[in-house]
Structure 1
Amino acid sequence: MSEEEKKIETTPTEAAAEENVEKELTEEEKLAKEEEEKEQKLRLESFRKAGEIHKQVVEYIKPLVIVGAKYLDICEKTEAKIIELGGEIGFPTNICVNEVAAHYSSPPDDESIIKEEDIVKIDIGVSVEGYVADGAFTVSFNTDPSTQNLILAVQTAVLKGMSLIKPGVKANEIGKATSKIIKGFGYNPIKELSGHSLEKFQVHGFKEIPNVALPTGDVFEEGEVFALECFASTGAGNIHRGSNCYIYEYDLKSDRVPLRGKITRKVVGWIAHNKKTLPFSMRELLKEFRTGKFAIRELTTVGKIGQHMVLKEEKGIYVAQWEHTFLVTEDGIEQLT
């Protein structure tokens, strides 16, 4: 028998064997496969829904960012609108003014108001089933000529950055491009802040998009979701930690420790049920627990809570921010916010 005849003779047998194995594996793995497909469908639907809610919230709140408006009212109205539209708070509303770059979310007693000459950044996170759409915009009331293109710089950088993204591209290439644009406008990017991937119940995932040129970077892959956020500063582009913290995040990876306070154990239960590892504000917590500050103090002391400290440039410096969330597709991106 020739080799060709042997090949012809064995092919049906081999095909049948492969078919049997495939059938066997399909039966064994069918439930797991269905669950995986269901989760993937939920993931995409949730990201897209969160993005649509985010767009509506921005459209609603942007006209309310005016001189004389209270920071607290903007935070409260933003988060109330998220819930009204069927979402949840994915990241406490940030209202960061002038040199404050990130992580200021009004405490319950905040009397601060927007003033003439302020530059105001609003950063909003919307969660649906734990999947977060993250985005930010800036409104300027400043008349100093040196700030007139600050918002345009970050807008242009984000749009250009997103236009370059597709599977296989490295994140440091995006940082190089956005940094060049911001510097071209005469400003400096803030190197300590970066864009980030988004995972379930994780606003800041495992991959980053730098705001500056770096020698290496993470690779974009189809199906991943990222937030690209750019910051431009009229100063050197360096930030430091402020002395205040209004945003916290439970650390599931920390060591198990006994919790003494009854209120602390209740707060942990609330976090586990409502937030998982999503950040939450002191303001949100105190609506649920009047004495929640004591719980935060204990949880911080034992290392169960991470702090998002207020981040600032130098006094007298102005910072602008722009941010969009997107899905990496086969040949580019799908913008979600």
Structure 2
Amino acid sequence: MTHSTTTGPAIDAKVDARVTGAHDDDDDIDDDEQDATNGDGKKKKKKKAKKKGGSGAKVGQTEPPRVGLSKLFPDGVYPEGELQEYKDDNIWRTTSEEKRAAERAAMEDPSLTYQNIRRAAEVHRQVRAYARKAIRPGMRMMEIADLIEDGTRALVEESGLESGIGFPTGLSLNNCAAHYTPNAGDTIVLQKEDVLKVDIGVHVNGRICDSAFTLTFEPTYNNLLEAVKAATNAGIREAGIDARLGEIGAIIQETMESYEVEVGGKVLPVKSIENLSGHTIVPYMIHGGDRGKSVLLVKNNDQTRMEEGEYYAIETFGSTGRGRVVESGDCSHYAKIYNAPHTPLRLQTAKSLLKTINKHFDTLPFCRRYLDRLGESKYLLALNHLVAQGIVQDYPPLCDQRGAMTAQFEHTILLRPTVKEVISRGNDY
């Protein structure tokens, strides 16, 4: 989920082998023709061993994915992401015993352990692997959202605020870059000519994995996708402990804007969207709370440095348009504001809705579909009242000019004491 810098407060290393959900069924089975000699010299066939069942049986993922990760990883240890060593003045961290001890301490602390975010990332990889195969022109936006979110809920084994969806599934189309997900009654159908951004959030104990990709079904905009993917990877490589945010933005822009797209015989430059950004992530807050940091997508003078232990969503957006977004269209995304002032509410319906938000989302972003799912009805007046009182922040769709096309790629990274871990990296992007 992206952070707009103008619309209010938030919102190449070796890849390790990972479990993709398809496990070989290699339970121990003896050859049923193997002979054994008993004491009287006669041979008898050794009985074929029964397949192991119960907790010893290996479990594979289904299609669509519905098997919870606790069954695929019963030991509770989840795959690491891609590891990138620090460079320059921080190269010493790789072999520092002090920093290794800091990592061991983090893994033993339930509030810090990397297993939470790795579990969320593995859910993300498995759900998106199916989504990338299943999403096709002719599908309704509501159908696509359900496909992704049903899988996410099942694999993360949704349980209140302990595990679940990290934020509403973004399905922004064409000139809309971010913050669109269908509301009830939405009839939009994916077309072959569309460029679809798929932004998925998963959380475990508040640790949010935020990662996104773009799909297109005909080749006109392939270069746009390549530009944005390259820019995201460049930003990830530049990121690290002590890296300055403004310098990362410059690398992102330089990489992005080295690409062009030919549309109808006309060559269009790819532009970094100047008022969108990546961001820090803290527990239960996708945009880093009141001390969040932003990674702009253009060169700037921000001298703020990244720090050890921080989580970042490194996301970039490219456009064939003006490279700037504005709010446009019906709002679907909302989030309770961290440390919002205590405000007496006049509307009883607003008080009731706030209780629902506190119980089910707290400061995690939500959308109108999620309120519908909880049985809330006729809540728009109450929701708008919470926004007006500064208790809830609304996040309308963010769009470039009509006719432009936009693309997005994103990964969550963790600045560990010894190494940078690209938590959400997969074989797909």
> Aligned partners of 2:303, 2:208: CA distance in 1, in Å?
23
Alignment partner for residue 134 of structure 2, among 61, 64, 83? 64
Deviations 1:36-89 (A, max 9, x none): 9634434x2211211111111111211222110111111122111111012411
In structure 2, what is the equivalent of residue 84 of structure 1?
A: 154
Q: CA deviation at 1:127?
A: 1.1
Q: Which amino acid aligns with 1:257?
A: T
Q: CA deviation at 1:264?
A: 2.4
Query: Aligned pair in 2 of structure 1 residues 129, 139: CA closer, same or farther (>3 Å)?
Result: same
Q: Which amino acid aligns with 1:109?
A: G
1:190 aligns with 2:273: yes
> Aligned partners of 1:110, 1:57: CA distance in 2, in Å?
23
Q: How do residues 131-170 of structure 1 correspond to structure 2 at under 5 angstroms?
A: 131-144=207-220, 147-170=221-244
In structure 1, what is the equivalent of residue 109 of structure 2?
A: 38
1:112 aligns with 2:188: yes
| TM-score, structure 1 as length reference | 0.85
**Structure 2, unaligned stretches of length 5 or more?**
1-104, 157-162, 261-269, 425-429
In structure 2, what is the equivalent of residue 203 of structure 1?
A: 286
Q: Secondary structure at the match of 1:158?
A: helix
In structure 2, what is the equivalent of residue 245 of structure 1?
A: 331
Q: Which amino acid aligns with 1:38?
A: D
Whether the 8 Å CA contact 2:197–2:213 is kept in 1: the answer is yes
> Aligned partners of 2:106, 2:281: CA distance in 1, in Å?
21
> Aligned partners of 2:169, 2:190: CA distance in 1, in Å?
16
Deviations 1:166-218 (A, max 9, x none): 21111222111111111001310001110111001110111111101111242
1:319 aligns with 2:406: yes
> Aligned partners of 1:308, 1:53: CA distance in 2, in Å?
25
Q: CA deviation at 1:269?
A: 1.4
Q: Secondary structure at the match of 2:279?
A: strand
1:215 aligns with 2:215: no
Q: Secondary structure at the match of 1:272?
A: helix
Q: Which amino acid aligns with 2:140?
A: K
Identical counterparts, % of pairs = 30
In structure 2, what is the equivalent of residue 50 of structure 1?
A: 120
More helix by share: 1
> Aligned partners of 1:243, 1:71: CA distance in 2, in Å?
15
Whether the 8 Å CA contact 2:106–2:112 is kept in 1: the answer is no
Q: Which amino acid aligns with 1:66?
A: R
> Aligned partners of 2:133, 2:106: CA distance in 1, in Å?
43
Q: Secondary structure at the match of 1:184?
A: coil
Deviations 1:279-330 (A, max 9, x none): 1001111221122223212212322211101100001000000000011134
Query: Aligned pair in 2 of structure 1 residues 52, 255: CA closer, same or farther (>3 Å)?
Result: same
Query: Aligned pair in 2 of structure 1 residues 199, 55: CA closer, same or farther (>3 Å)?
Result: same
Q: Which amino acid aligns with 2:183?
A: P
Alignment partner for residue 121 of structure 1, among 197, 213, 222? 197
Q: Secondary structure at the match of 2:285?
A: coil
In structure 1, what is the equivalent of residue 321 of structure 2?
A: 235
| TM-score, structure 2 as length reference | 0.67
> Aligned partners of 2:318, 2:107: CA distance in 1, in Å?
40
In structure 2, what is the equivalent of residue 94 of structure 1?
A: 170
> Aligned partners of 1:290, 1:297: CA distance in 2, in Å?
14
> Aligned partners of 1:124, 1:220: CA distance in 2, in Å?
24
Q: CA deviation at 1:262?
A: 3.5
> Aligned partners of 2:107, 2:358: CA distance in 1, in Å?
24
Q: CA deviation at 1:332?
A: 4.2
> Aligned partners of 1:45, 1:259: CA distance in 2, in Å?
40
Q: CA deviation at 1:143?
A: 4.3
Q: Secondary structure at the match of 1:263?
A: helix
> Aligned partners of 1:169, 1:230: CA distance in 2, in Å?
17
Alignment partner for residue 386 of structure 2, among 274, 280, 299? 299
Q: CA deviation at 1:105?
A: 0.7
Greater mean alpha carbon deviation, residues 157-166 or residues 126-135: 157-166
Q: CA deviation at 1:117?
A: 0.9
Q: CA deviation at 1:155?
A: 0.9
> Aligned partners of 2:230, 2:107: CA distance in 1, in Å?
38
